[in-house]
């Protein structure tokens, strides 16, 4: 008989069941465990569970991004109340400000930011190449100028591991060579191979630097651009590495959604069945559903909160721009099926007023709503996987939800007025 339990980070009333896994992996001397509980019969979707020393994570899962140890405008308690089970912070940003010494003095990033659940820290590779000036890659690592004050820094696979162990992250990411696309195949191949060599160095560094009491584990990152052969080669290298999980990097960087779907279909069959799969920097509702259908377990993105701060809110029918005049007289919830504070306490007309008036409360309520919307999507996905109805649930989602791209094609550009877009931190 299955036993119903309440887990950390679950929205009030949410339950999960204990059951025997069909595949499992353990890392960090038992500090981290992934159980694959169910595989969908019609798609590549998977139902799983991650156990860390700081809490259980039901997968598939979306991770809100707290780049600088804060999910913008929100208290950690508010983030938890949306149903978030794990949050993400960024090594590049925390290295520059406040610095690893300050975070270590505080007792680690969890105590520093007041979040008691699991935390994943991105390595900062993406930020080095997207934010920092004058970055220069060598086999040793990457040197760059801080986007804050122009000071010179260097990150290596070893130093990035040391930083994340200093933060006491639950999940640490390897440093990878992120290449701006489009690029020549030779450049993509060189960056992919360098990322693989850096992963080998990160694994050795983690093994040497992590003490017996560490609560951290290391994930590797697959690269390869939009080249099928390179994607497969990189996936096999990550699979062979001594890592707790496998991330898929270099997607959601401007390619079309069919291309991203193709890359996932090429990638996931070559990743280990018994380890979690993490698609980096992806967070639109349609991409979550279709990423899960292609075998992804974990997602993160700044999109839901960035879009929220620009007045773009998710609904079951698609994204809306709350500053649009049509909401001025709508004295009803944004989404009457939503149980977040924005929808249960306030009207669309009031939140419209807050944005038109430049009130910070509007950004906060919109952020709570968007995070709760995505958490509810993941809850629906997990329930559908539990009941064997994922394919029909995906079809129902697609039939109703209209992505921004579809609205642009039809000439409805309301949601584009926000200036919000997809991407990583």
pLDDT tens across 247-270, in order?
A: 999 999 999 999 999 999 999 999
Residue pair 208/163 in contact by the 8 Å Cβ criterion: no
Write down the pLDDT at residue 1. Answer: 29
**Backbone CA torsion sign across 282, 285, 290, 295:** positive
Q: Is the pLDDT of residue 5 over 90?
A: no
Q: Is the pLDDT of residue 352 over 50?
A: yes
Q: Please list the active-site residues.
A: 122, 300
Residue 389, CA distances (Å) to 20, 59, 382, 383, 394 in order: 20, 16, 10, 8, 9
| Entry pTM | 0.93
Q: Which of 312, 326, 311 is nearest to 357 (CA)?
A: 311
- Mean pLDDT throughout 39-66? 98
Write down the pLDDT at residue 407. Answer: 59
Q: Is the pLDDT of residue 290 over 50?
A: yes
Q: 24-38, 190-204, 266-280, 402-416: which has the minimum mean pLDDT? A: 402-416
Between residues 218 and 12, the one the model is more confident about:
218
3-state helix, strand, coil in the chain (%, to 5): 40, 20, 40
Q: Which long-range contacts (CB under 8 A, 24 or more apart) does 1-7 make?
A: 7/55, 7/56, 7/58, 7/85
Helix (H) or strand (E) holding 351: helix 348-357
Q: Which two tokens stand for residue 268?
A: 């996931």
Write down the pLDDT at residue 18. Answer: 59
Q: Is the pLDDT of residue 359 over 50?
A: yes
pLDDT category at 214 given cuts 50, 70, 90 is: very high
How many helices and strands (H and E) does the chain possess?
16, 19
CA distance 204 to 242: 9
What domains appear along the chain, each with residue ranges and CATH number?
A: 59-301 (3.20.20.105), 307-418 (no CATH)
Tell me which DSSP letter residue 421 carries: -
pLDDT category at 379 given cuts 50, 70, 90 is: very high
pLDDT, mean over the chain: 92
Write down the pLDDT at residue 128. Answer: 87
Q: Is the pLDDT of residue 83 over 70?
A: yes
pLDDT tens across 121-138, in order?
A: 999 988 988 888 789 999
Q: Is the pLDDT of residue 163 over 80?
A: yes
């Amino acid at each position: 008989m299955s036993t119903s339990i309440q887990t950390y980070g679950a929205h009030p009333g949410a339950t999960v069941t204990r059951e025997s896994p069909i595949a499992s992996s353990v890392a960090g001397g038992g500090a981290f465990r992934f159980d694959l509980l169910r595989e969908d019969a019609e798609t590549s979707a998977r139902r799983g569970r991650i156990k860390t020393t700081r809490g259980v994570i039901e997968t598939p899962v979306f991770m809100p991004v707290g780049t600088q140890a804060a999910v913008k405008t929100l208290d950690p308690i508010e983030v938890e109340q949306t149903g978030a089970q794990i949050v993400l912070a960024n090594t590049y940003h925390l290295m520059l400000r406040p610095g690893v010494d300050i975070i270590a003095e505080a007792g680690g990033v969890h105590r520093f930011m007041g979040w008691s659940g699991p935390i994943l820290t991105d390595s900062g590779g993406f930020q080095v190449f997207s934010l920092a000036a004058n970055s220069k890659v060598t086999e040793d690592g990457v040197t760059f100028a801080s986007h804050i004050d122009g000071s010179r820094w260097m990150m290596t696979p070893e130093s990035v591991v040391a930083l994340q162990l200093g933060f006491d992250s639950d999940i640490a990411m390897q440093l990878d060579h992120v290449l701006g696309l489009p690029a020549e195949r030779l450049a993509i191949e060189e960056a992919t191979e360098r990322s693989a060599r850096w992963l080998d160095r990160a694994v050795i560094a983690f093994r040497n630097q992590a003490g017996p009491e560490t609560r951290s584990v290391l994930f590797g990152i697959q690269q390869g651009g939009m080249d099928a052969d390179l994607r497969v080669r990189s996936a096999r290298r990550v699979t062979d590495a001594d890592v707790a999980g496998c991330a898929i990097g270099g997607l959601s960087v401007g390619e079309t959604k069919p291309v991203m779907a193709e890359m996932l279909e090429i990638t996931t069959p070559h990743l280990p069945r018994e380890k979690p799969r993490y698609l980096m920097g992806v967070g639109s509702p349609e991409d979550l559903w279709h990423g899960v259908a292609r075998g992804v377990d974990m997602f993160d993105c700044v999109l839901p909160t960035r879009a929220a701060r620009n007045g773009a809110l998710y609904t079951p029918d698609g994204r809306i721009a709350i500053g649009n005049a049509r909401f001025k007289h709508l004295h009803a919830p944004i989404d009457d099926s939503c149980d977040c504070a924005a929808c249960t306490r306030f009207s669309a007309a009031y939140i419209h007023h807050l944005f038109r008036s430049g009130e910070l409360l509007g950004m906060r309520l919109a952020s709570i709503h968007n995070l709760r919307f995505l958490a509810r999507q993941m809850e629906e996905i997990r329930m559908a996987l539990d009941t064997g109805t994922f394919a029909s649930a995906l079809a129902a989602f697609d039939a109703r939800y209209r992505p921004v791209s579809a609205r642009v094609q039809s000439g409805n550009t309301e949601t584009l007025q926000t200036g919000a877009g997809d991407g990583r931190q």
